[in-house]
Amino acid sequence: MVNNTQKKFKELSRGEIAIDEVSVSGDNFRKQFNEDALKELADNIAKVGVLEPIILRQNRQYKILVAGERRLRAAQMAGLATIPYRLLDLTEEQAREVMVLENLHRADLNPIEEATAFKDLLESGGYTAEDVANRVDKSKAYVYRAIRLLDLPQEAQDALEKGEITTGHARHLLRIPHEEIKGLLKDIKRRQMTPNALKEQIRWQFGMDLERVGWKLDIEYAGKTACSKCPYNTANQQSLFDEALEAGKCTNKACYEEKRTQFETDVIEQVKEKAKKLGMGFLEPKYRYDYDDDFEELDEEEQAKYADEIKKHPAKFALTVPVGETEEVMFCIDEKLCKKINEEKYGSYEEPEEEPEDDSEESIARKRERDIAEKTSQMFAEKLMPDVLKKELTEEAFADDFINLSEWQCKLLAKAFCIKELTLKEILTLPSEKVILLLTLLTKVSKWEFENDLAEYIGHEVTDEEYEQIREQAVAEVDKESK
């Protein structure tokens, strides 16, 4: 087989040609030219002239530029009237081939231009991946990885061409669906994320575990491609990188959620059918820890204990599947039986009566100490908040639920984040990075150690002197408010 990378084309003529006689077609894949480098070349040409001829082809009466547009532009900048040329006997397809090969020798090709050149050569039918790799002294894997960059959405390709992201960023972006890339592009630019930081962001934000799912990975499910064959399965993304990725993760969040929702629906239908056959009821799916007090959840041991009761009176029991889970749970729904089970489990319990506050000096002193402790915590937390807001985000920065904070703690966080109150509706008006930071705080602080957890979160070591100073201010505030 002839090695097409060494193929020669017939030369029709050579010499000098007037620059204004050269026609430049608009199909050159190379669109960007570094202005500083072009000026430097123009200055050099002004001194020594153009040393390497441009390549032309004949098209009727026109002489079309095939290779050497950078030299032509620099010669124009240098004020030259003519430029050396070689006129080759080329078809349009052959001209494209020469143009691509010529450009591949340039050091300043951007990744998209290089990828386009590789793709053109392979699609011409005259070159194998090995031919192209040899031409640029790279591996076949390098060529294939480069061409994959053309699968990016246009805005990501534009960012890569402009140098706003690197090929490292781009390859990680190829791991997620197009509709998710736009948001991450903004994050990369705004937060100046490194490729490794982007890798961690994708792992945290999109890395759903496939090892624990209930559906089969090797067959189509919910009208979607089998996970084992999907390009968004990290097990199938190794070719994008030299280093290994964490296998068994799905980076297509939307598809994963559709399959998960479908699987939950299927499980619920199965449990409904089972409950019907057993003569039990079916409780509509609810959060595991949000059931009515009248319902008593039964574990396997308790189900065995009450097996006779379940068999004799199935209507006293019900099956359900908690939201977000795919396992069956049995409940006792009979009020009297629930009470009996509860007493057997926990014993009888009566809520103790609260002792009313009195006007004694001892009671007043206790209340004052409580107020001082709360005021100290509040003032301490307010002092820490500016540093908390500067804290860099991490992959652990997201929470599923809000925790129960006191009124002043909620007000402090709302004030710090410039929202009216600490509600989900208000939180969702914040920029995404602020939402993540706020939810980070809500997972890392507790109701009782709020200020200490904030200090730990930002790495602030609290000294006895600092705490006593804040407490003295708190005492003064409390005494002032009580007058």
Q: What is the pLDDT of residues 94-139, one digit of tens each?
A: 787 777 777 776 656 788 888 888 888 888 777 788 888 887 788 8
Q: What is the pLDDT of residue 165?
A: 92
Q: What is the pLDDT of residue 4?
A: 41
Q: In what order do the strands lie in the sheet containing 296-298?
A: 281-282, 317-320, 329-332, 296-298
DSSP per position, 301-325: HHHHHTHHHHHH-GGGEEEE--TT-
Please compute the mean of the pLDDT values over residues 78-99 and round it to a whole number: 85
Fold classification of 4-151 (topology level): 3.90.1530
Q: What is the pLDDT of residue 316?
A: 93
Are the beta carbons of 51 and 83 closer than 8 angstroms? no
* Alpha-carbon torsion angle 137, 96, 74, 163, nearest 10: -60
pLDDT at 289 over 60: no
Give Dmax over CA atoms of the chain in angstroms: 113
pLDDT at 3 over 50: no
Closest listed residue to residue 23, CA positions, set 56, 52, 50, 1: 56
CA dist 54 and 99 (Å) reads: 11
Pairing of the two strands 296-298 and 54-59: unpaired
CA dist 160 and 152 (Å) reads: 10
pTM over 0.75: no
**pLDDT, tens digit, 9 for 90 and up, residues 442-481:** 777 776 678 888 888 888 888 888 889 999 999 999 988 8
Give phi and psi for 17, each to the nearest 5: -135, 145
Q: When comparing pLDDT for 319 and 326, which is higher?
A: 319
Active-site annotation, residues: 69
Which tokens is 25 given? Answer: 């077609």
Q: What is the pLDDT of residue 296?
A: 86
Q: How does the average pLDDT of the chain come out, rounded?
A: 83
β-bridge partners, 297: 331
Q: What is the pLDDT of residue 29?
A: 58
Q: What is the pLDDT of residue 162?
A: 87
pLDDT at 322 over 80: yes
CA dist 110 and 31 (Å) reads: 10
Q: What is the percent of the chain where pLDDT is above 70?
A: 89
Confidence of residue 388 (pLDDT cuts 50, 70, 90): confident
Closest listed residue to residue 66, CA positions, set 29, 104, 95: 95
β-bridge partners, 17: 83
**pLDDT, tens digit, 9 for 90 and up, residues 25-55:** 766 656 667 677 788 888 888 888 888 888 8
CA dist 31 and 418 (Å) reads: 45
CA dist 291 and 322 (Å) reads: 10
Q: Cα-atom radius of gyration of the chain, to the nearest Å?
A: 35
Q: What is the percent of the chain where pLDDT is above 90?
A: 20
**pLDDT, tens digit, 9 for 90 and up, residues 240-267:** 876 667 778 888 888 998 998 899 899 9
Confidence of residue 1 (pLDDT cuts 50, 70, 90): very low
Q: What is the pLDDT of residue 297?
A: 87
Q: What is the pLDDT of residue 277?
A: 95
* 3-class SS string, 194-260: CHHHHHHHHHHHHCEECCCCCCCCCCCECCECCHHHCCCEHHHCHHHCCCCCCCCEECCHHHHHHHH
Q: In Å, what is the CA distance from 426 to each residue of 23, 219, 406, 435, 438?
A: 60, 42, 18, 10, 12
Are the beta carbons of 23 and 73 closer than 8 angstroms? no
Q: What is the pLDDT of residue 323?
A: 75
Q: Taking the domains of the chain in order of start, what are their residue ranges?
A: 4-151, 157-257, 279-346, 361-482
Confidence of residue 69 (pLDDT cuts 50, 70, 90): confident
Q: What is the pLDDT of residue 6?
A: 39
Q: What is the pLDDT of residue 169?
A: 93
Q: What is the pLDDT of residue 5?
A: 37
**pLDDT, tens digit, 9 for 90 and up, residues 153-183:** 999 999 998 889 999 999 999 998 998 898 8
